[in-house]
């Protein structure tokens, strides 16, 4: 097991690997069972700096890639959710990464659900933080209203953390990726998942409907929905200590 300091130093080093036509950046720290952190829409591997090192110090090998077109990794104009899942599979294969627990945030929860549904042999557990994919009517309209309202409930420090990657990705890529995710059936994917899973929300998350979070958790083997006392939609950033503790407890329980 690495110390917190060692995990922080390792996490600060950018690594790259070739996946198809793209030179993909990722971060990594720690030793032990593998845990892959997949960032939300418009963000990058850098967004996990409050989670990666602490999880590594808790006894896990933690990895976080940029999705194609985001962060410091080149990519197409957009990728659908199934395409993102296939790309994550290619990245894991390039690293010769075996079965791992996958942690998604927001839209990337749909990606890791799809990955677990299509490649159960690759996924040991799922953590879905503030998941999108609610099949209720007007899903994108309700998400959009939630996204607009969300900054009111987020800490001031979130703005610099998301501003640079959003600008780097560009509004067009962000919008096309979001619209494509609106066609993905998260509940159908969840019904095919065989790995244990947990859904984690911040109590001020007005993007994710609580009923959907509960239904999604119920669809996963041994699933449960945990609502943290703090945090909004960016719960992994807003309430890192609470979030990390839930993730560590869950992974130690199921791995």
User: Among residues 198, 211, 201, 199, which one has the least CA distance to residue 232?
Assistant: 201
Structure tokens at 222: 């041994």
> 150 is in which domain, residue-wise?
4-254
Long-range contacts (CB closer than 8 Å, 24 or more residues apart) made by 3-8: 3/57, 4/53, 4/54, 4/57, 6/57, 7/52, 7/53, 7/54, 7/56, 7/57, 8/53
What are the CA-CA distances from residue 238 to residues 47, 123, 157 (Å)? 11, 27, 9
Residue 123 in this model has a pLDDT that exceeds 90: yes
**How confident is residue 148, by pLDDT bands cut at 50, 70 and 90?**
confident
User: What is the per-residue pLDDT for 154?
Assistant: 87
Give the number of other Cβ atoms within 10 Å of residue 157's Cβ: 9
User: What is the per-residue pLDDT for 98?
Assistant: 96
3-state secondary structure of 189: helix
Average pLDDT over residues 207-220: 97
Share of the chain above pLDDT 90, in %: 85
Q: Is the pTM of this model over 0.85?
A: yes
Number of domains, the chain: 1
**How confident is residue 217, by pLDDT bands cut at 50, 70 and 90?**
very high
Distance (Å, whole) CA 228 – CA 146:
18
User: What is the per-residue pLDDT for 48?
Assistant: 98
Residue 139 in this model has a pLDDT that exceeds 90: no
User: What is the per-residue pLDDT for 115?
Assistant: 98
Q: Which residue has the tokens 């808790």?
A: 58
Give the number of other Cβ atoms within 10 Å of residue 224's Cβ: 14
User: What is the per-residue pLDDT for 165?
Assistant: 87
**How confident is residue 153, by pLDDT bands cut at 50, 70 and 90?**
confident
pLDDT tens by residue, 18-28: 999 999 999 99
User: What is the per-residue pLDDT for 214?
Assistant: 97
Distance (Å, whole) CA 193 – CA 207:
24
User: What is the per-residue pLDDT for 227?
Assistant: 98
Distance (Å, whole) CA 184 – CA 46:
26
Residue 127 in this model has a pLDDT that exceeds 90: yes
Distance (Å, whole) CA 251 – CA 55:
10
Are residues 253 and 127 in contact, defined by beta-carbon separation less than 8 angstroms? no
59: left (phi over 0), alpha (psi -120 to 50) or beta: left
pLDDT tens by residue, 5-18: 999 999 999 999 99
Residue 203 in this model has a pLDDT that exceeds 90: yes
Q: Which DSSP string do the residues of 79-105 spell out, in sequence order?
A: --HHHHHHHHHHHHHHTT--SEEEEEE
Residue 161 in this model has a pLDDT that exceeds 90: no
Are residues 101 and 201 in contact, defined by beta-carbon separation less than 8 angstroms? no
| CATH for 75 | 3.40.50.1820
User: What is the per-residue pLDDT for 158?
Assistant: 87
The angle, 0 to 180 degrees and rounded to 10, between the axes of the packed helices 158-169 and 171-181 is: 90
């Amino acid at each position: 097991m690495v110390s917190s300091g060692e995990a922080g130093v390792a996490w600060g080093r950018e690594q790259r690997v070739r996946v198809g036509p793209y030179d993909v950046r990722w971060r990594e720290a720690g030793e032990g069972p593998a845990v892959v952190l997949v960032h939300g829409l418009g963000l990058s591997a850098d967004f996990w700096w409050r989670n990666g090192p602490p999880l590594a110090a808790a006894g896990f090998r933690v990895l976080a890639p940029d999705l194609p077109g985001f962060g410091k990794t080149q990519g197409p104009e957009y990728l659908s959710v199934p395409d993102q899942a296939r790309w994550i599979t290619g990245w894991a294969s390039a690293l010769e990464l075996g079965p791992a627990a996958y942690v998604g945030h927001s839209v990337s929860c749909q990606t890791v659900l799809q990955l677990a549904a299509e490649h159960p042999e690759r996924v040991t557990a799922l953590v879905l933080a503030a998941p999108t994919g609610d099949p209720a009517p007007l899903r994108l309209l309700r998400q959009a209203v939630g996204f607009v309202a969300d900054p009111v409930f987020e800490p001031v420090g979130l703005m610099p953390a998301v501003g640079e990657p959003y600008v780097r990705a560009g509004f067009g890529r962000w919008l096309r990726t979001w619209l494509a995710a609106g066609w993905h059936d998260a509940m159908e994917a969840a019904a095919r998942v065989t790995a244990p899973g947990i859904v984690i929300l911040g109590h001020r998350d007005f993007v994710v409907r609580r009923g959907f979070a509960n239904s999604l958790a119920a669809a996963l083997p041994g699933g449960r929905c945990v609502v943290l006392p703090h945090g909004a939609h960016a719960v992994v950033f807003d309430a890192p200590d609470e979030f990390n503790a839930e993730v560590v407890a869950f992974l130690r329980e199921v791995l």
